[in-house]
Structure 1
Amino acid sequence: MLSLLTRTKSFRDPWVGHPDLNRRWQLHRRRVQLAETLCLWRRLLRPAQLASLERDGFVALENFLPQSEFEALRDEVEAVVARASRLHPVADNTRPGFRPKQPFPGGFDRFDGGTLNRFLHIDPEHMPRAAAFSHDQRLSAGSRQVIGLPMNPRKLDIYLTVHGEETRTPDLQKVLHRDTFFRALKFWFFLRPVQRQDGPFEYVPGSHRLDPSRLRWEQTTASAAAEQRRQPDVSGSFRIREEALAELGLPKPVALTCPANTLVLADVFGFHRRGAAVQGQQRLALYGWNRPYPFLPISW
């Protein structure tokens, strides 16, 4: 029962996915509302600084670093990525679904269907510029705006995405979804340009807002997941068809193509996905996340 007061979102959990509690008491709706209320309370004394982040749920900030600083950071990261590629050549995956982590010294690989996610940990001794970036106060300002809490510098990695074969091993992250039942932050600082063929991040503007239509959708989707007693929602990360967005009064997703040296911040309670890409194309970013304990009433 204590799982109801945690970040647990999977409907395999006997309490989160309890059919009677969701059908009769609308348990999921109550958890969503409580988390949202406490998040708003945490944000109360943190006025919004980025208008588009507040309005749309995401923002893309181009020319984030001075050019000379950016180039030095990019070169540092590219050298680390190249070394990892030599020591641990990129492989293919022929099995569908989310695959477990494959750790190696300094990082790990994880497949989403055919798409490879390579995460490399930041060693401050050998990557001083990347380590310094993790302490940029603008990251904490964006985090406070979304969830009312500062950024944790340890929640930052080098992130290489390599798009794979989609016919037999589709990438479930390329289906519109929201990550969890409460507000959370993700950001990507892109070190290479992102074009259409690279599978840009896509977001549905305004889908981070918890209005009555969204709340009904949350409970209806949760009740179906609980009644079916299986996991149609990818561990609680609910999916939505693009055609269903209009029923919630939402527009189509926008693709965030961008030049290098762009920071993208997003509230991943909103609907988003990894865009379609040409097989073999890559994205390279510094990637961070802040998924708080949702029932925390205070900030600092």
Structure 2
Amino acid sequence: MKIMTPIHAVGWAAGVFGAEKSFLANPILGSRRLNELGLHRARVRAAERMARFRRSMLRDIPAEDRAAYDRDGFVIKENYLPPDVFDRVRAEVFGQSHPAREMRQGQTVTRMIPLTHAAKRRAPETVRVAHDRALNRLAGYVAGRTGAPIHFIQTVIAEPQRGPADPQTALHADTFHSTSKFWLFLHDVTLEDGPFMFAPGSHKLTPERLKWEYEQSLTAKEAKRAHHSFGSFRVGADEMERFGYRPPQPVPVKANTLVIADTYGFHARTPSSKPTTRVEVHGHMRRNPFTPWNGLDIQALPGVKGRQMDIYFAWLDYWNKPTIWKDVGEVMADAPAAI
């Protein structure tokens, strides 16, 4: 272990200048002394400034989408697809089984069906919609950096009668900088179905939020909540006013609604009091927050773009690496949980 320490130290130091967020895994990020001197606060402030700079260089974002994001931290587009295209996507998603993986978090199972190039044979329309250039440019604007998002069909299965609470129902930020996630909902999601929840305006770095980020960094390594110590800070809904944000609000939607959100903003899944299943075309975008450019994304290289999930899982399987994503074979998108 001691022989490897210098190599690990290089990796830990490099992580400070990238997207690494865990106060547990990286002893530099988790150092109370360095965070007292302002390490985490400096990373948050620098990432926010760089994201604003990169967004300022993106010219082809519709004005109404730019205004919605700048005001709220998310964009909602109802009736997103033409009806015939939406019907074809639903037919592809629900009309056949797909190779899938599942992850359980307390009372909730998330199923992932990758929309890589390999999926074109089964679901060409769905892959085309997910990889649409305008959609991915908007996802890049929200994330504060363009690039190649990762796409998959996502099924969220709530089983409130089982296990501990889903940690994703606690209001939280995914990491210390702007990232984006989008959901194209394939059926209605009502308040009873546990919809997405977001605190409007919470993507903005106010002085109060920055002070809170500093305070959290001093104790995050010892936090009892694992996600908090991993750098996905949890927060109480009653603190939104303190930060200058509006209260969190659930976002029920009709089928064929697209939602894109900056998950540096405080968000959560609304808890569901009954068993529910919802299916959506999903994508997410998270990159190094400190680079001054858009594009030049390693995940957009030929042979990599559109194959990120295939490459990732092939690497895990080859090296027999443990993963929270369990291979469940071929299943219908809306089938009951297999794990």
TM-score for the superposition, normalised by structure 1: 0.87
1:127 — aligned with what? 123
1:21 aligns with 2:17: no
For 2:260 and 2:223, locate their aligned partners in 1 and report how far apart those are by CA, in whole Å: 35
- CA offset digits 1:240-282 (Å, max 9, x no partner): 0111222112221111111100000000000000011133201
1:40 — aligned with what? 52
Q: Which amino acid aligns with 2:34?
A: L
Q: Secondary structure at the match of 2:290?
A: coil
Picking from 77, 85, 95, the partner of 1:79 is 95
Residue 234 of structure 1: CA displacement? 5.0
1:286 aligns with 2:281: yes
1:152 — aligned with what? 148
Stretches of structure 1 that go unaligned for 5 or more consecutive residues are 85-105
Residue 46 of structure 1: CA displacement? 1.5
1:189 aligns with 2:184: yes
CA contact (8 A) 2:156 2:277 kept: yes
1:89 — aligned with what? none
In structure 2, do the counterparts of structure 1 residues 148 and 239 end up closer, same or farther at CA, with 3 Å as the change threshold? closer
1:3 aligns with 2:21: no
Picking from 109, 113, 116, the partner of 2:109 is 116
Residue 227 of structure 1: CA displacement? 6.1
In structure 2, do the counterparts of structure 1 residues 238 and 143 end up closer, same or farther at CA, with 3 Å as the change threshold? same
Residue 11 of structure 1: CA displacement? 0.8
For 2:225 and 2:277, locate their aligned partners in 1 and report how far apart those are by CA, in whole Å: 34
CA contact (8 A) 1:134 1:156 kept: yes
1:276 aligns with 2:271: yes
1:250 — aligned with what? 245
Residue 211 of structure 1: CA displacement? 1.4
Percent of pairs identical after alignment? Answer: 34
For 1:169 and 1:227, locate their aligned partners in 2 and report how far apart those are by CA, in whole Å: 22
In structure 2, do the counterparts of structure 1 residues 264 and 27 end up closer, same or farther at CA, with 3 Å as the change threshold? same
Q: Which amino acid aligns with 2:94?
A: E
Residue 36 of structure 1: CA displacement? 1.3
Residue 28 of structure 1: CA displacement? 0.4
In structure 2, do the counterparts of structure 1 residues 286 and 229 end up closer, same or farther at CA, with 3 Å as the change threshold? closer
Residue 128 of structure 1: CA displacement? 0.3
Residue 200 of structure 1: CA displacement? 0.3
In structure 2, do the counterparts of structure 1 residues 152 and 76 end up closer, same or farther at CA, with 3 Å as the change threshold? same
1:198 — aligned with what? 193
The alignment of Structure 1 onto Structure 2 pairs a total of residues equal to 275
Q: Which amino acid aligns with 1:206?
A: G
In structure 2, do the counterparts of structure 1 residues 26 and 282 end up closer, same or farther at CA, with 3 Å as the change threshold? same
Picking from 141, 161, 166, the partner of 2:156 is 161
In structure 2, do the counterparts of structure 1 residues 63 and 14 end up closer, same or farther at CA, with 3 Å as the change threshold? same
For 1:110 and 1:195, locate their aligned partners in 2 and report how far apart those are by CA, in whole Å: 23
1:61 — aligned with what? 77
TM-score for the superposition, normalised by structure 2: 0.77
Q: Which amino acid aligns with 1:143?
A: A
For 1:228 and 1:68, locate their aligned partners in 2 and report how far apart those are by CA, in whole Å: 49
CA contact (8 A) 1:114 1:171 kept: yes
Stretches of structure 2 that go unaligned for 5 or more consecutive residues are 1-12, 296-339
Residue 297 of structure 1: CA displacement? 0.8
Q: CA RMSD in A?
A: 1.8
Residue 231 of structure 1: CA displacement? 4.3
Q: Which amino acid aligns with 1:68?
A: D
2:206 — aligned with what? 211
Q: Secondary structure at the match of 2:284?
A: strand
For 2:292 and 2:157, locate their aligned partners in 1 and report how far apart those are by CA, in whole Å: 39
Q: Secondary structure at the match of 1:233?
A: helix
For 1:205 and 1:37, locate their aligned partners in 2 and report how far apart those are by CA, in whole Å: 20
Residue 285 of structure 1: CA displacement? 0.1
2:337 — aligned with what? none
1:179 aligns with 2:174: yes
